[in-house]
Structure 1
Amino acid sequence: MGVKQVLRAMDAFPRAEEHLLQKTKSGAFVSIVGLVIMSTLFLHELSYYLNTITVHQMAVDLRRGETLPIHINMTFPSLPCDVLSVDAIDMSGKHEVDLDTNIWKLRLNSDGHITGTEYLSDLVEKEHKHDDHKDHHDDSDNKTHMQGFDQEAENLIKKVKQALAHGEGCRVYGVLDVQRVAGNFHISVHGLNIFVAQMIFGGTTHVNVSHIIHDLSFGPKYPGGHNPLDGTERILRGASGTFKYYIKIVPTEYRYLSKEVLPTNQFSVSEYFSPINEFDRTWPAVYFLYDLSPITVTIREERRNFLHFITRLCAVLGGTFALTGMLDKWMFRFLEAVMKKNSRSLVR
């Protein structure tokens, strides 16, 4: 036996003569259905292969000496910008009052439209300036200074009361860079002198800290990430109070297919509201109390293996071809049996 004969004997796909093949309408119908199914499955498998998957891994957080960026974007529809302040404190003992680093306030009219923009003023620096004046001036200068302060307070009271009457609100946005330790920041009227605040509002129960959180995050956003406080709206209809959001921050790294690494954080949150009565000495505020998890999460983008894609493709296409071939044979035999039965009945 020659080489050609051996190769022909190994042929797993023997072919019949063209004149021995019979093409039928049922076979054409099954072939079209099979092509549609195979095309659909091919596109599905191709999409499955091209789409990236994310793999999550956990490890102990080893980062040190870094700052924690806090992105804030909130609206207070019932409080003017002149009375709002942002204060932050952490477990390291660092306490910053009325932060002005990368923080802006937008004045809003009663319809929510922007009417002005300004930085948050630094009340700590103002207090130091007052102390310096007291140390370097005589009694007469002190009297003049106190009169100026009183006049400034009266102007502020008048300005804020007019803003409240006109229904002004305020939008606070920006970035706080704090130490990477547990702490809190809050937005309130705590930057005001207590007597000034009393003259403006007439009591703690009249401070409406209704707020809308447009965005609150602890780092840049990553694909598939979700910040649970985005879009939160808390509008007070009755007595005022203090809102507290307890936040658990999980350090996160997002690794793209390009090997680029995006350091960020994700978090969970629980909420608590404490009503205030007229005898309370504390003023309403919105607190964000955060703590960091010792575990870091790494989210890594991956693409499925090409050989795995080929294997799945062969399986679904080959299976569909075999199934439609069996269906064609069954339909052909069924139709052939029906036609023979009809021909016999006609002969009789």
Structure 2
Amino acid sequence: MSVDLKRGETLPIHINMTFPALPCDVLSVDAIDMSGKHEVDLDTNIWKLRLNSYGHIIGTEYLTDLVEKEHEEHKHDHNKDHKDDIDEKLHAFGFDEDAENMIKKVKHALESGEGCRVYGVLDVQRVAGNFHISVHGLNIYVAQMIFGGAKNVNVSHVIHDLSFGPKYPGIHNPLDGTVRMLHDTSGTFKYYIKIVPTEYRYISKDVLPTNQFSVTEYFSTINEFDRTWPAVYFLYDLSPITVTIKEERRSFLHLITRLCAVLGGTFALTGMLDRWMYRLLEALTKPSARSVLR
């Protein structure tokens, strides 16, 4: 273990998740870090797969609705007066044909049981931050028209893969295979992640820089008075300590020692078995005292 001295590098976030109850048209990814800067768009590579009610792929699209906002803007959007927001969206989208068509399309997708698989890589700065997947890309008016309220947004999800770098032999990513299904309720999931920078050193001297992590999960139910919309948040922080894992070969002397131990044990065991077998056969073949008297 040593102090993490990396500077100016990016942190790769590998995402592969399925939202079985939300169509791709309403899903968006919002990423922000503690510095307020957004480097996500430099190397963002996120794709969405449309899924039918059986989970089969029926379409693919590049995620163009990556939402990127400054801290203050983000807070402002959530704390803005609801009525003013609705009025603003009505002005912009109220009788707009594109908005109406989009609403009809999404409602049809919801009725058909469409889902969405989101996968790809986010390259972010190596500072604490968060990203979340939700319907926050929609304006409030359109979201209200589609869902009729936050409590009807179902963020049930399956995490196929969430990792922060390439996999090394023996790595365990605790969120892989996570299934969270909601029935007759809605709410927000928050995963608090502690990232540990890790170096894996192979026997060949090649070094694989990656990260492992631990996670704590929290779920909060949405009620009628909440102004927030359901989402799945991943809030991450980085450890200042790097863990180095090395592959090493055992020495020839160690091999000889183990070989001697195995041979010695085998010799001792066969000697014991030989003595036991001899005594058993002796007891079976020795004539009894009664038969001798007769």
Measured against the shorter chain, the TM-score band is 0.7 to 0.9
Q: 1:269 aligns with which of 215, 224, 244?
A: 215
- Give the conservation status (yes or no) of the 8 Å contact 1:98–1:122: no
Change (3 A) 1:337 1:180: closer
Q: How does 1:12-31 map to 2 (within 5 A)?
A: none
Q: CA deviation at 1:315?
A: 2.6
Matched, 1:162 2:115: no
Q: CA deviation at 1:272?
A: 0.5
Please tell me the root mean square deviation across aligned C-alpha atoms, in Å.
2.9
1:64 corresponding residue in structure 2? 7
TM-score under structure 2 length normalisation: 0.83
Per-residue CA deviation, residues 236-280 of structure 1 (Å, 9 max, x unaligned), is 102211100000000011111111111111101011111111221
Structure 2, unpaired ranges of 5+: 69-90
Q: Give 3-state SS (helix, strand or coil) of 2:184's partner.
A: coil
| Inter-partner Cα distance in structure 1 for 2:93 and 2:157 | 36
Q: 1:73 aligns with which of 11, 16, 28?
A: 16
Which of the two has higher C-alpha Rg? 1
Q: CA deviation at 1:327?
A: 5.4
| Inter-partner Cα distance in structure 1 for 2:226 and 2:93 | 31
Q: CA deviation at 1:98?
A: 9.4
Q: Give 3-state SS (helix, strand or coil) of 1:320's partner.
A: helix
Per-residue CA deviation, residues 8-45 of structure 1 (Å, 9 max, x unaligned), is xxxxxxxxxxxxxxxxxxxxxxxxxxxxxxxxxxxxxx
Identity of aligned residues (%): 85
Change (3 A) 1:324 1:277: closer
1:286 corresponding residue in structure 2? 232
Q: CA deviation at 1:346?
A: 4.2
Q: 1:92 aligns with which of 32, 35, 38?
A: 35
Change (3 A) 1:98 1:234: farther
Q: 1:308 aligns with which of 243, 247, 254?
A: 254
- Give the conservation status (yes or no) of the 8 Å contact 1:245–1:270: yes
Structure 1, unpaired ranges of 5+: 1-57, 126-144
Matched, 1:176 2:122: yes
Q: Give 3-state SS (helix, strand or coil) of 1:302's partner.
A: coil
1:48 corresponding residue in structure 2? none
Per-residue CA deviation, residues 49-70 of structure 1 (Å, 9 max, x unaligned), is xxxxxxxxx1111111110000
* Larger helix percent: 1
Matched, 1:246 2:180: no
Q: What is the one-letter code of the residue matched to 1:297?
A: V
1:23 corresponding residue in structure 2? none
Q: How does 1:94-133 map to 2 (within 5 A)?
A: 94-95=37-38, 101-122=44-65
Matched, 1:255 2:201: yes
Change (3 A) 1:99 1:255: closer
Q: CA deviation at 1:335?
A: 6.0
Q: CA deviation at 1:176?
A: 0.3
| Inter-partner Cα distance in structure 1 for 2:243 and 2:117 | 33
| Inter-partner Cα distance in structure 2 for 1:148 and 1:302 | 67
| Inter-partner Cα distance in structure 2 for 1:224 and 1:161 | 44
Q: What is the one-letter code of the residue matched to 1:114?
A: I
Q: CA deviation at 1:333?
A: 7.4
1:141 corresponding residue in structure 2? none
- Give the conservation status (yes or no) of the 8 Å contact 1:252–1:265: yes
Q: What is the one-letter code of the residue matched to 2:192?
A: Y
Q: What is the one-letter code of the residue matched to 1:226?
A: H
| Inter-partner Cα distance in structure 1 for 2:289 and 2:41 | 99
State how many pairs are aligned. Answer: 272
Change (3 A) 1:344 1:65: same
2:71 corresponding residue in structure 1? none
Q: What is the one-letter code of the residue matched to 1:294?
A: P
Stretch deviating more after TM superposition (88-97 or 290-299): 88-97
Q: What is the one-letter code of the residue matched to 2:169?
A: P
